[in-house]
Every structure is written in C-alpha cells, then in structure tokens.
Structure 1
C-alpha cells in the first residue's frame, strides 16, 4: 500500500479515481499495519468528504465507508471492525486482516460458511455467503469465545 499515491489520489483524483482507490483499499489484501498507517491520515479523508458535492455522495459511498473506518482505527478500533460496515466484504477480501480457519457448505441454507479469526486482536467471526437478488451478500456474526 503506497500512502503517498493514496494521498495524491485523495487530493487530486477524479470522482472515478477516488471510488477506485477506496474500493482497492477496502477489497484487496491489506494488513493491520497498512490500515494503522493510513488511519494517521483520517483527518485528510474527512476534509475531502466535506468538499464532496451532494450529487456525488452515492457514487462515492465506499470513500465515506473508508473514511469512517479510518477514524475508528485512529481511535483504537481494530481493522477487523470493517466486517460491521454495510458493504460486500467476504473473508477472502480481508486477507491480511483475517485468517480463514475453516470453510463449510450449509446445504440447508445453501450458503458457504467461513470461520475466521482476526490476525491482530484474535476475534473470531462466522460469515455466511448467501445468494441475494442478482448477487451475493455476506452475513457476519462475531463468535463468542469460551474460556
């Protein structure tokens, strides 16, 4: 993850470049260290959001999600909290944040179930990929760890 390139796009990019940048950061392999480093620039993301025209807000939804997520990380949240965001985030897209422990197919629900664990804080998650409309959605649930 090249922070200088990200900041350059943030400050000078077109609407499409901003959306592609946010999509790339949120859906491609990244590490906790990458997100922590990027979260140091959360205020720059927020400043950019204040300058976005209303007509562009829907198109740039992922940029808003990314900025909110960076704020949370900057305030001490773990990068795995991205699973709580309203976007398609399969465990495979969170490589570098989560480790996949097991994968099963639930015939009754016709869903792929994945058990994963955060590489930094150790939280465990159960996710289900289910068909939804013309695509798929992922339903996340934090697994309660028993002592």
Structure 2
C-alpha cells in the first residue's frame, strides 16, 4: 500500500491528514512521534497543524546525539529503533503515528521505546491497518486507523 500517489494529490493529502488529526486529537498529545520513514510525513504535518512537538523514531544509526534504542523481533528477523534522549520532558503525552499497521512489531517497539524514554504514550494511529495480521493485538495502548484493508 503506497501512499505516494495520495500525497501527490493536494486535496487527498489534506483529507488524509485531516482524518488522522480527528483520531489523534482525541488523546490531546503534547508530541506526535512518527516512525521511520513515512510516519515522519504524518507526524510533521499533524504536529504543525495541531501545535504539538514532532518526534522521530528511527532505525539504528540515523539520529545524532544521545539515543536510547530498543531491539525487537520481526517475522523475518530483528531490527532496532532509536529515539533521542532528553528531547521531551518525562511524562509528556505522546501519540505515535505511521502510515501502516501490519504485524505490529515496529509500532509495538516504538511504544516500548518511547515509554523507556519516560513518555506517556496515549495511543497509536495509522493511516492504514491491514486487518487479519493481528498487529493491533501487540499494542498495549489504544489504537485507531483511517482505512482498513484485508491482509
């Protein structure tokens, strides 16, 4: 599921961000965290529009400064996510956004990582959920999506 054509259409992109915002604002976040890389697009647009800070959760070795990492297993191996330490105050309310939820490994790891950094992760919101892969079952925070497709 490629969001590039949607993003290239200004009306479609505006509506996509609006639909994400409706779901994110229910949790009144101080920060919106985007997952590498397409999640950054939603996080930046939402944070600017909602007056929140934007955070990046990246693959290992991509962020400058002091970082905290979290390694996790995927259906095809393992990976590591990182976020910068000290970039938000302890207890800050955070909603994590991404373009797609499939098996849930990466999104679940992002929740764990931001909690390690002292964040109060209120929810996770994706533009698309692939239904039937059980990804939402790995999350220990409320989850919402804009569009759902069968896996």
**Band the TM-score falls in, shorter-chain normalisation:** under 0.3
Tell which structure's C-alpha radius of gyration is larger. 1
Q: Which has the higher contact order (CA 8 A, sep 6+)?
A: 2
User: Normalized against structure 1, the TM-score is what?
Assistant: 0.27
Please state which structure has a larger fraction of its residues in helix. Answer: 1
User: Normalized against structure 2, the TM-score is what?
Assistant: 0.27
